[in-house]
Structure 1
Amino acid sequence: MARMPLAERRRQLTEAAIRAMTRDGVSRTTTRSIAAEAGVSLSVFHYCFDSKQALLESVLTMITDHYIAVVKEAIRPRATLRETVRAGFQAYWDHVAARPAEHMLTYDLTQYALREPGFEHLARRQYELYCETYAQLLEQLGRQTGFELLVPVPVLARYLAAMTDGVTLNFLVLGDADAAAGILDMVTDHVAGLIRER
């Protein structure tokens, strides 16, 4: 087996974990099955991750980082502020529609972390990461548009994290893309109403 830098090997194992957990569920995925999925020995896995908790945190970070990159790319000034905000939501939603199993995995990770003693902090970290992500996106929007929010960034960030979490789960359960689009339109109008020119 060719030697690979540690960061690259961790990325490889994290991607393998996402595939295995998406297919088999978090509770049924073992470190052995992840190593097999990645095509490496179990000792390589343990060299890269000192615990399953560390791996799960890497999985959450990778999934979140991917859709953050997609949304950041989409949030660029458009003809109107509303169009700019809606483009960000649409980019997130396109990610959900293209990768529903990956988003379902995030809920499985939450449930697993809440039920497994000693893993509760991962669920907390997951939702903190969502709020931090929205705060970054809101700050990016403010820099790009020259507008300011009428509510504190942390409050709106938590609201948006809860809203997208709910609409995503609703879509995964009911499969109604039109209803999801209507909700995103309504939230876009709400968010645009909380922004003013400096």
Structure 2
Amino acid sequence: MARLTLEERREAAIAATLRVIAVDGVEAATTRRIASEAKMGQSSIFYAFSSRDELLAAVVAHGVAQELDYMNGWLETLADYPEGEAPMEDLIRAGLLAFAENAITEPARQQVLIGLALYARRTPGLEHLAERLYDGYYDVGARVLDEAARISGCVWSRPTTDLAPTVIALSDGITLCWLGTGSRERVNAVVESAVTLILGYLE
């Protein structure tokens, strides 16, 4: 069997850690459990990472990068809309429903991201990773609002950088609604309330 390179060991350990967290949470991601999931010895884990905290920091950074790539891809789809193509209400509803569908179809991914963000916030030295995740969310949220205004011809009553944290809080609420209830009906109700709230910021 070919000997894994350092980068391959790192990638295998990160992937295994994500699988463990998806099933049992961050607390279950011990080096023993990760090594078993990755089908490698604990010594291989410590060859690739100096400590469990260093491994978890790499996992957080990986999760942040993946989520921001996903959100930027979502934003790129709006760039194809010409101006005046759709009413603001339809754009906001479609965007939130697309976000909800992602939470519904990939609940494990959402659970992992929530767990990683909370872990980073309470771990000294990793706080910046959670901040990076939400700064990225806010940046994408503001750009989505800018694109929605361009497409609909509407004007926001406040800068989109000020509105973005509210939009992201609403999307977090949609995610938690699904993870907590598993009810599409309740998720749809939250989406409709979110649409009404966001439209209240139009001039």
Do both proteins adopt the same fold according to a TM-score greater than 0.5, normalized to the shorter chain? Answer: yes
Equivalent residue in structure 1 for 2:73, among 46, 51, 69: 69
CA separation in 1, counterparts of 2:151 and 2:34? 41
Query: What is the total number of aligned residue pairs between the two structures?
Result: 194
Is residue 71–residue 88 contact of structure 1 (8 Å, CA) maintained in 2?
no
Percent identity for Structure 1 against Structure 2: 28
Residue by residue over 1:113-156, the C-alpha shift from the partner in whole angstroms, topping out at 9 and shown as x without a partner, is 23323323333333222212211222232344443311111221
Equivalent residue in structure 2 for 1:51, among 39, 49, 54: 54
186 and 24 in structure 1: CA distance in 2 versus 1, 3 angstrom threshold: closer
Residue by residue over 1:56-89, the C-alpha shift from the partner in whole angstroms, topping out at 9 and shown as x without a partner, is 1221221342244246436764542211221111
What's the counterpart of residue 150 of structure 1? 157
SS at match of 1:195: coil
Structure 2 residues without counterparts, runs of 5 or longer = none
CA separation in 2, counterparts of 1:178 and 1:117? 39
Letter of the aligned partner of 2:21 in structure 1? M
Which is higher, the Rg of structure 1 or of structure 2? 2
Equivalences for 1:88-99 in 2 at 5 Å? 88-99=95-106
What's the counterpart of residue 21 of structure 2? 21
Higher relative contact order (CA 8 A, sep 6+): 2
Give TM-score, length-normalised by structure 1.
0.75
What's the counterpart of residue 100 of structure 1? 107
Q: Which runs of 4+ in 1 moved over 3 A?
A: 1-4, 8-17, 30-47, 74-79, 142-147
Matched, 1:138 2:141: no
Equivalent residue in structure 2 for 1:180, among 180, 184, 187: 187
